[in-house]
Amino acid sequence: MEGGVDYLADERKKAEFDVQQMKIVWAGSHHTFEISDRISKLVANDPAFSKDERTMLPRKELFKNTLRKASYAWKRINDLHLSEEEASQLRFYVDEPAFTDLHWGMFIPAIKGQGTDEQQKKWLPLAYKMQIIGCYAQTELGHGSNVQGLETTATFDPQTDEFVIHSPTLTSSKWWPGGLGKVSTHGVVYARLITDGQEHGIHGFIVQLRRLEDHRPLPGIIIGDIGMKFGNGAYNTMDNGVLRFDHVRIPRDQMLMRVSQVTRDGKVVQSDVPRQLVYGTMVYVRQTIVQDASCALSRAVCIATRYSAVRRQFGSHNGGPETQVIDYKTQQSRLFPLLASAYAFRFVGEWLKWLYTDVTQRLQANDFSTLPEAHACTAGLKSLTTSVTADGIEECRKLCGGHGYLCTSGLPELFAVYVPACTYEGDNIVLMLQVARILMKTVSQLGSGKLPVGTMAYMGRIEHLLQYRCNVQKAEDWLNPAIVLEAFEARAARMSVSCAKKLSKFANPEEGFAELSADLVEAVVAHCQLIVVSKFIEKLQQDIPGKGVKQQLKVLCGVYYLFLLHKHQGDFLATSCVTPKQASLANDQLRVLYSQVRPNAIALVDAFNYTDHFLGSILGRYDGNVYPKLYEAAWKDPLNDSVVPDGYHQYIRPLLKQQRSAKL
């Protein structure tokens, strides 16, 4: 509590579980909880990190303010000797998109993943100390999704042992990289490698963009910001940039050479590392985006849940209080599945982080066998979780009625910052189609004796899944995880097999794939939902201490999968995985679970342990003191600086005068 009366105290008393233990489950461990709790408070209590008025600042001031915060954050990180984990928590809780996200989140990982040991030794210490600041310059004006279509060229000049980086067309201008527009001194620039007149595909190059002395662009380089983006404040704190090269020369050893090398005489040598590792940074970031989805969704859900308990509308009896809107079943059926999804994404994000760490360790030992699984899981889950989260934030805004539309609710800015996650790091549909290719390949190999592995292993039981009949007889049967898993597996397998059968009728598989792409995306959604459900169920098999904690998670898990079953009952019925009667029983059980969530709802969002600073929402205040604070905030709007607005004499008075004389 941050002082004063707690208007949600009665709600908190209803909790049937140990909230402190749930906070630890949410954080992942005691250790992460301790760090995130300490650092979030450190940020919240430091006025230099205040977020007030961010949505009202003009772009230049907003950007300068972000620079100030980023530089102050760096000072705090050094003064307090924060570890890497603490530093990244600090940047997270400062909660303002900035060039540092790209420097730490993409530039450094690109060098780590694609640079040789020597290159890492040379560049990483400079980057770690922020003596250089980097961005990830891949997307161009003409191409983003189609990476092979990038036009920037890197032509090897054997005379000088240099690459010549060039933007041959307007559409080859780099366009979008965050941190590029006004800050980065360097970039990992993706370009078409050309040696001896021959093309060798897309590779990354470390290119210095600005002079370290005065920050001016180096000769042959044009850089700027691409302009205002969606929303007030929001992602406009980021300098997404445009960049053009006019025959800019860099030394040969600035091509990232872990995947392929160019020798002194211009020969291209492939190492035994797969080519796809050039895309490795995207796999890394997609994995962090899945973790971030649970943060963004939980944040919106926390706001909507607290406000739904404060807000009362209709239903007063004999002058008593009106009904809290959270008690309306329609409110619960919109809000609680999102609450459950936030927890589900938390656990699948945790698992994905494990998978990524495992793949990285294998890659270091030259074992590339799990790379396709990592690509499929990161691409599919990034798509699924960001789409649900973006829609979920908007649903939370609607759940807060009119006040949700105010900037002071925090929801408009959260939405504006979050929605591009459906596009960056791979457009969600484009990524789903990548997973579809892998799914179809898996189905086509089923007869060959090659057993599917990892998250596709269930396909290995295809005969059984095609014959499966669900044996749910009463609503409570839907609480049995084994029954649920089989139903989700059968649905996903049948949808994939159905697509594969249709595909096989096309003489040209590429044409068939294009024609069936909408159906394929639906099959991929079913496959990805199965992954999330199965990881939630796996989580429940762990030892989870704390009174009532596991029980609450079971309820949320049930809400998550039964909501999906209800929402996608068309899929389940069309594939004969469940009967109409069983679908109806699932919905009956879902209603029972909603009533079990209700008394715990506030405690379940308290378990996210968000400070009021981080939430940035009057509606989501911990103490529920919404109305006086909304009233107070309105008066701080610059429009209320004067009683009579600027422009009155120019525009309003003449209008009123003209109407008066017309009447007379």
Ligand X SMILES: Cc1cc2nc3c(=O)[nH]c(=O)nc-3n(C[C@H](O)[C@H](O)[C@H](O)COP(=O)(O)OP(=O)(O)OC[C@H]3O[C@@H](n4cnc5c(N)ncnc54)[C@H](O)[C@@H]3O)c2cc1C
- Binding-site positions for FAD: 139, 178
Closest approach, Cβ 614 to ligand LF6QOOUY, in A, equals 10
Which is closer to ligand LF6QOOUY, CB of 142 or CB of 266? 142
- Min separation Cβ 431 and ligand LF6QOOUY, Å: 7
Provide the token pair at 660. 């008066």
434 binds, among ligand LF6QOOUY, ligand X, none (CB under 5 to 8 A by kind): ligand LF6QOOUY
Task: Provide the 10 A C-beta neighbour count for residue 391.
Answer: 15
C-alpha to C-alpha distance for 528 and 421, rounded to whole angstroms: 17
Yes or no: say if 498 and 520 are a contact pair by the CB < 8 Å rule.
no
DSSP line for 186-253: EEEEEEEEEETTEEEEEEEEEEE-B-TTT-PBPTTEEEEE----STTTGGGGS--EEEEESSEEEEGG
Active site residues: 425
Q: By C-beta, is 191 or 562 nearer to ligand X?
A: 191
In 80-170, which ranges are continuous DSSP H helix?
A: 84-94, 99-102, 108-114, 117-128
Q: Which lies closer to ligand LF6QOOUY via its Cβ, residue 282 or residue 465?
A: 282
Q: Encoding tokens for residue 248?
A: 């800019």
| Residue closer to ligand LF6QOOUY (CB basis): 430 or 485 | 430
Q: Which is nearer to ligand LF6QOOUY, 167 or 589 (CB)?
A: 167
Residue whose CB is less far from ligand X, 427 or 612: 427
Q: What is the distance between the alpha carbons of residues 402 and 409, in angstroms, rounded to a whole number?
A: 10
Nearest Cα residue to 189 out of 239, 223, 226 = 223
Q: Which residues bind ligand LF6QOOUY (CB under 6 A)?
A: 92, 95, 97, 101, 105, 136, 138-139, 144-148, 178, 276, 279, 282-283, 285, 288-289, 292, 371, 375, 417, 424-426, 430, 434, 437-438
CA-to-CA distance for 511 and 285, rounded, in angstroms? 31
Contacts of 109 (CB under 8 A, 6+ apart): 281, 284, 285
Mark out the alpha helices in 311-370 (DSSP H runs): 329-364
Give me the least distance between CB of 456 and ligand X, in Å please: 22
Find which of ligand X, ligand LF6QOOUY, none residue 235 binds, CB within 5 to 8 Å per kind: ligand X
Measured in residues, the chain has a length of 664
Chain residue at closest Cβ approach to ligand X: 144
* Closest separation in Å from C-beta 273 to ligand X: 22
> How many Cα atoms occupy the beta-carbon half-sphere of 403 within 13 Å?
20
> Which does residue 134 bind out of ligand LF6QOOUY, ligand X, none, counting CB within 5 to 8 angstroms by kind?
none
Q: How far is the CB of 514 from ligand LF6QOOUY (least distance, A)?
A: 13
Q: Which residues bind ligand X (CB under 6 A)?
A: 102, 136-139, 143-145, 176-178, 235, 240, 420, 423-424, 426-427, 429-430, 433
Closest distance to ligand X from the beta carbon of 190 (Å): 7
- DSSP bridge pairs for 192: 153, 202
Instruction: Tally Cβ neighbours within 10 Å of residue 467.
Output: 8
SS3 of residue 328 by DSSP: coil
What separation in angstroms does the CA of 149 have from each of 85, 170, 310, 517? Answer: 37, 14, 53, 21
Q: Cβ of residue 371: shortest distance to ligand LF6QOOUY, in angstroms?
A: 5
Nearer Cβ to ligand X (108/406) = 108
Residues 6 or more apart in contact with residue 636 via CB below 8 angstroms: 53
Distance of CA 573 to the CA centre of its chain: 31
147 Cβ contact list (under 8 Å, min separation 6): 138, 190, 202, 279
CA distances, 505 to each of 8, 285, 317, 512, 638 (Å): 60, 37, 65, 8, 65
**Partner in contact with 240, chosen from ligand X, ligand LF6QOOUY, none, beta carbon below 5 to 8 Å by kind:** ligand X
The entry of ligand X, ligand LF6QOOUY, none near residue 276 (CB within 5 to 8 angstroms by kind) is ligand LF6QOOUY
Are 533 and 484 in contact, with CB atoms under 8 Å apart?
yes
Residue 424 CB, nearest approach to ligand LF6QOOUY (Å): 4
Q: What sign does the dihedral 644-649-651-652 (CA atoms) show?
A: positive
Residue 379: name the closest of 358, 356, 360 by CA: 356
Determine contact, residues 282/233, Cβ cutoff 8 Å: no
Residues 6+ apart with CB under 8 A from 202: 147, 148, 150, 190, 191, 192, 193, 278
289 binds, options ligand LF6QOOUY, ligand X, none, Cβ within 5 to 8 A by partner type: ligand LF6QOOUY
Nearer to ligand LF6QOOUY, 82 or 289 (CB): 289
What phi, psi does 193 have (nearest 5°)? Answer: -80, 130
* 246: alpha, beta or left? (left if phi > 0; alpha if psi -120 to 50): beta
In which residue are the tokens 């709600």 written? 11
| Numbered residues of the known binding site | 139, 178
Shorter beta-carbon distance to ligand X: residue 420 or 558: 420
Cα–Cα distance, 569 to 487 (Å, whole number): 11
Considering the complex, state which of residue 350 and residue 515 has its C-beta at the smaller distance from ligand X. Answer: 515
- Identity of the residue, 201 or 266, whose beta carbon is nearer to ligand X in the bound complex: 201
Shortest distance in whole angstroms from residue 559 CB to ligand LF6QOOUY: 26
Residue 429 interacting partner from ligand LF6QOOUY, ligand X, none (CB closer than 5 to 8 Å by kind): ligand X
Q: Smallest gap, in angstroms, from Cβ of residue 515 to ligand X?
A: 12
CB of 279 vs ligand LF6QOOUY, minimal distance in Å: 3
- 417: partner contacted, choices ligand X, ligand LF6QOOUY, none (Cβ within 5-8 A by kind): ligand LF6QOOUY
The angle, 0 to 180 degrees and rounded to 10, between the axes of the packed helices 329-364 and 580-597 is 90
From the list ligand LF6QOOUY, ligand X, none, which binds 18 (C-beta under 5 to 8 Å, kind-based)? none
Binding site partner of 596, from ligand LF6QOOUY, ligand X, none, Cβ cut-off 5-8 A by kind: none
* Cβ-proximal residues to 663 (8 Å cutoff; 6+ apart), any chain: none
Please give the structure tokens belonging to residue 481: 């995880």
Q: 210: which DSSP letter?
A: B
Q: Are 555 and 472 contacting, i.e. CB atoms less than 8 angstroms apart?
A: no
Q: Which does 231 bind (CB under 5 to 8 A by kind): ligand X, ligand LF6QOOUY, none?
A: none
Among the listed residues 640, 635, 630, the one whose alpha carbon sits nearest the alpha carbon of residue 409: 630
